[in-house]
């Protein structure tokens, strides 16, 4: 029963995939498909890109479940009318930093709707960073408050899915406090370093660094002191809170690194060994199915894809070096969603998303063959019609396959490369001598398991190999 269901599913899926692939398949002798990328088990179709919002996007972050995209953008009050008026009056637009607005929006990949959840006027400050709390729909927003210019402060806010915000901490301008979300758990570390942002220098005479934790309720734990001011907090890829201290003895050429494990339950800090997975990315998927995204500079794009433009590629982590799909040749900041359903990127200052449709690898391969057959049939029909029109303009005489027939039908065809690979077998002659035009072969394209055959009445059909 399961096999029959699977077959019915593939039978319905293949025509759809074939129609999507047909536009990218250009011939039987090459495989230029770049809107698909395959992994060990599946294939991913890159659907047309969608513009989310713009301009002036400074940061984008996917939610842990891949359903939402958080976007930080800067909005200018200038309009098309005000810019046109300034141009006509030969003046410069008077926008100042105080006029700019920073906004935090979330885009829902299911409803495809954007919602603004936080906004700060330039005269009051700006949003400096955004991040999601793992395993939740809440966000951490850090905003600079300049309503008191003499004593600016940073605010660390927790914002839930409904846009309700809770102030977690305020930080003076001469302090260094960072909010670091766990990569795997709904926990955020609020780390305070005793040295200031201005000099970023610490010494042993200063008080130790401290860390406090909070979850989606926004309740801060008691501070846990780290062993020294030189300790730096970090999360392991598995979500374990750690501290790392680097020291160097006087006259020594190399520094010594000491690691500490932080126990949130009993607020203890104990020495430990360096975790073997430090420095590795957080693995959300099985290695054989995981996709990866690459941002290529112009110079690298020339070598990789032959295009001198900022290019974003997507490929399987296990794929050969030349097996990739092209997300865009005009973008940067490519970011794959955690559920592998889309790639977000910035193009011309606009937030863009290119959805990825996951399909079984078997369906992809069958659809690829079906798309190639469809493409060859279309080309065969175009060549047949060009030959038919040429004959009509020449007293119904078909050009001989022994002559320069390609040059003869060029005026009747849009793309002169379309008949590359076409085997023209008709010897020529007048149409009146053809007894059965619907079964008289003009020529054919070789294809997978058969050929696309063109006939003298202008139609084409697929003939399987015996």
Domains in the chain: boundaries: 366-464
Cα-based distances in Å from 367 to 47, 360, 373, 377: 16, 11, 10, 15
Q: Tell me the sheet residues that pair with 254.
A: none
Rounded to the nearest 10 degrees, what angle do helices 2-22 and 361-392 cross at?
A: 40
Largest CA distance in the chain: 105
Report the SS3 class of residue 336. strand
Q: What is the pLDDT of residue 282?
A: 56
Q: What is the pLDDT of residue 11?
A: 55
Q: How far apart are CA 134 and CA 131, in angstroms?
A: 9
Q: What is the pLDDT of residue 167?
A: 95
pLDDT digits (tens), the chain, 466 positions: 445 544 454 455 556 555 555 555 443 333 334 688 888 788 888 888 999 998 889 999 999 888 999 999 998 877 677 667 767 777 766 667 778 899 999 999 999 999 999 999 988 999 999 999 998 989 999 999 988 888 889 999 999 888 899 999 998 876 788 899 998 899 999 998 876 544 444 455 677 889 999 999 999 999 999 988 878 899 998 899 999 988 877 666 777 889 999 999 999 999 999 888 776 555 554 445 578 898 999 988 888 888 889 999 998 876 655 578 889 999 999 999 988 899 999 999 999 999 998 888 888 888 888 888 988 999 999 999 999 999 999 999 999 999 999 999 999 988 878 888 999 999 999 999 999 999 999 999 999 999 999 999 999 999 999 8
Q: What angle do CA 135, 140, 142 make, to 5 degrees?
A: 165
Q: How far apart are CA 261 and CA 175, in angstroms?
A: 25
Q: What is the pLDDT of residue 77?
A: 74
Q: How far apart are CA 51 and CA 40, in angstroms?
A: 31
Q: How far apart are CA 265 and CA 259, in angstroms?
A: 19
Q: What is the pLDDT of residue 86?
A: 67
My answer on whether omega of the bond before 306 falls inside 30° of 0, hence cis, is no
- Find the length of the chain: 466
Do residues 218 and 168 make contact, with C-beta atoms less than 8 angstroms apart? Answer: yes
pTM over 0.85: no
């Amino acid at each position: 029963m399961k096999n029959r269901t699977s077959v019915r599913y593939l039978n319905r899926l293949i025509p759809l995939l074939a129609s999507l692939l047909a536009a990218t398949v250009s011939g039987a002798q090459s495989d230029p498909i770049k809107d698909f990328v395959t992994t060990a088990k599946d294939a991913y179709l890159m659907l047309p890109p969608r513009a989310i919002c713009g301009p002036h996007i400074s940061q984008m972050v996917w939610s842990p479940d891949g359903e939402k995209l958080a976007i930080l953008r800067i909005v200018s009050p200038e309009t098309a009318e005000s810019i046109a008026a300034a141009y006509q009056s030969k003046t410069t637009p008077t926008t100042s930093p105080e006029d700019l607005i920073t906004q935090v929006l979330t885009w829902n990949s299911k409803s495809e709707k954007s919602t603004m959840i936080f906004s700060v006027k330039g005269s009051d400050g700006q949003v400096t960073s955004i991040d999601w709390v793992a395993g939740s729909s809440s966000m951490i927003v850090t905003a600079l408050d300049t309503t008191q210019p003499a004593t600016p402060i940073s605010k660390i806010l927790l914002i839930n899915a409904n846009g309700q915000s809770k102030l977690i901490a305020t930080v003076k301008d001469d302090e260094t406090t960072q909010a670091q979300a766990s990569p795997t758990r709904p926990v955020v570390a609020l780390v305070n370093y005793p040295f200031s942002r201005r000099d970023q220098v610490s010494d042993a005479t200063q008080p130790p660094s401290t860390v406090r934790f909070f979850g989606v309720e926004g309740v801060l734990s008691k501070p846990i002191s780290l062993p020294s001011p030189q300790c730096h907090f970090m999360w392991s890829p598995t979500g374990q809170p750690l501290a790392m201290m680097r020291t160097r003895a006087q006259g020594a050429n190399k520094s010594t690194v000491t690691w500490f494990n932080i126990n949130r339950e009993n607020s203890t800090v104990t020495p430990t060994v360096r975790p073997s997975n430090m420095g590795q990315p957080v693995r959300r998927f099985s290695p054989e199915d995981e996709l990866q995204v690459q941002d290529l500079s112009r110079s690298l794009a020339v070598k990789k894809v032959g295009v001198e433009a900022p290019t974003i590629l997507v490929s399987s982590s296990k794929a050969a070096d030349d097996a990739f799909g092209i997300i865009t040749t005009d973008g940067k900041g490519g970011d794959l969603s955690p559920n592998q359903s889309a790639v977000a990127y910035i193009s011309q200052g606009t937030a863009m998303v290119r959805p990825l449709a996951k399909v079984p690898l078997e369906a992809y391969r069958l659809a690829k063959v079906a798309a190639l057959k469809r493409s060859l049939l279309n080309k065969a029909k175009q060549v047949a019609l060009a030959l038919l029109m040429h004959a009509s303009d020449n007293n119904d005489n078909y050009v001989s396959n022994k002559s320069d027939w390609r040059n003869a039908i060029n005026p009747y065809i849009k793309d002169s490369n379309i008949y590359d690979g076409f085997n023209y077998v008709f010897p020529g002659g007048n149409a009146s001598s053809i007894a059965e035009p619907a079964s008289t072969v003009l020529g054919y394209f070789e294809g997978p398991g058969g050929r696309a055959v063109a006939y003298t009445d202008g139609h084409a059909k697929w003939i399987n190999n015996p």
